[in-house]
Amino acid sequence: MTQGKTVLILGGGIGGIVAASRLRKGLSREHRVILIEREEQ
C-alpha cells in the first residue's frame, strides 16, 4: 500500500492559494494539502 504524503504550504496569499489549488487538483486523494496562514484576515 502506498503511503500518502502531506504537502504543507505556508502563507495564504496569492501564491499559496494558487499552489494549494493546483496541488489539490493534481494530486490523488491519498495525499494531503495543508495551507497555513498566520493572519486571521
Q: Which residues bind ligand FAD (CB under 6 A)?
A: 10-16, 36-39
* Cα dist from 30 to 1, 11, 18, 40, whole Å: 11, 23, 20, 29
Nearer of residues 19 and 27 to ligand FAD, judged by Cβ = 19
Residue 2 beta carbon to ligand FAD: minimum distance, rounded to whole angstroms: 29
Nearer of residues 12 and 27 to ligand FAD, judged by Cβ = 12
Nearer of residues 34 and 36 to ligand FAD, judged by Cβ = 36
